[in-house]
Amino acid sequence: MANTLLALLSRDWAGVPVALVVAAMGGCLVGLGATWAVALGGLLVAAGVVMLAGAVRHVVLMAREAGERPMPGTLVDVDGHRMHVLAEGDAAAGPTVVWMPGGHAPGEEFGELHAMAAARTRSVLVDRFGTGWSDAGPFPRTTAVEAEELLAALERAGERPPFVLVGHSFGGLLVANAARRRPDLVAGLVLLDPTPLEVIAFAPSNRLITGMRRSFLLAAVRHLFGAHRGRGGRTAPHCAAASIFAELSPSGLAGVGWETVVYDGDLGDVPLVLVIPRDLIGGETVLAGARDAVEAERIRNFYLRTRVRYLAASTASRLVYTPEGTGHDFPREAPGFVVGVVEDLARELRVTSR
């Protein structure tokens, strides 16, 4: 039921029939003639009219945005839905670099990194379903499904392996899953402070994480009825995020753990570079709920230790620290550093493949 609702909300036109249904229900109540029915029906009719105006505004804004922002890449078919892939640069310089931003963000979030890399080698951005120029796609959204979709999109777009997969935060978890499924396609991995699922399963309660799904749902409803300024107003990204972030709870993870967790040794000898900050800069909120200094230190130790868990996934892994003063958002704070780390790995891979 929840995923059916998310699939409906992800369609930008869905607010129009919903508003009409609300207004029609109000009209039916008014027709009953009873005082209470007329009063309640009048409120519903008024609400329906306001919702309809907002829904029409949303549809118009989204049509205008589509006209103002031409699609930079191509659409490929993945299981009957269209996925947007932007590939630029010289493939002969190989291996091809594939970028995956954090959260459930569109590929353009890494547009600066992509442009820098494409000047030297083949670079690819993929819009996951529900983001960017891709279709809303099927529901539910899961990390396991999106890993398969990423690999399928690369194949349908004609991109040739081997790939260097680069993922930040939740995107790091995603590309690690893709590498686990098809290590034969992967020359190497660069994981930019990837999400360790131990944080979801065992960390103390974090209001930021627990409130994410609710905030995405509310944002989808607001946008559906026109409560936004235009650009970036699609409802699909919020619905897709609300669906996939259902995994981000102890109970949600318990149901998908075998398909989603990347365990020790799962990546064999795939070259893996783990890039993390040295401390909790930008993530101090995780300490806010500590009862005392002793628990705060335990929480700090827990988060710092879980950050290095991915090193055990491959026998060919190494650790790189981000520049001093940068936090979890270091791809935005130090893009040149990130591209440099990726280029260093690509250069090593070109030498060893000769």
Predicted pLDDT at 246: 86
Predicted pLDDT at 13: 94
Q: What Cα–Cα distance (Å) separates residue 66 from each residue in 21, 111, 232?
A: 28, 18, 10
Predicted pLDDT at 209: 66
Predicted pLDDT at 148: 97
| b/e per residue 275-287 (b: at least 16 CB within 10 A) | bbbeebbebeebe
Give the contacts of 316 (CB within 8 A, at least 6 positions apart): 269, 270, 271, 272
pTM: 0.92
Long-range pairs for 296-301 at CB < 8 Å and ≥24 separation?
A: 299/203, 299/204
CB 136 within 8 Å of CB 130: yes
Give the contacts of 155 (CB within 8 A, at least 6 positions apart): none
Cα 9–Cα 14–Cα 15 angle in degrees, nearest 5: 100
Q: Which residues pair with 84 in a beta bridge?
A: 75
One digit per residue, the tens of pLDDT, for the chain of length 354 reads 788 889 988 999 999 999 999 999 999 999 998 999 999 999 999 999 999 999 999 999 999 888 888 999 999 999 999 999 999 999 887 899 999 999 999 999 999 999 999 999 999 999 999 999 999 999 999 999 999 999 999 999 999 999 999 999 999 999 999 999 999 999 999 999 999 988 888 887 766 666 778 889 899 999 999 988 767 788 999 999 999 988 888 888 888 989 999 999 999 999 999 999 998 887 767 777 778 888 888 888 888 899 999 999 999 999 999 999 999 999 999 999 999 999 999 999 987 765
Predicted pLDDT at 223: 92
Predicted pLDDT at 248: 81
**Is residue 123 within a helix (H) or strand (E), and if so which, with residue range?**
strand 123-126
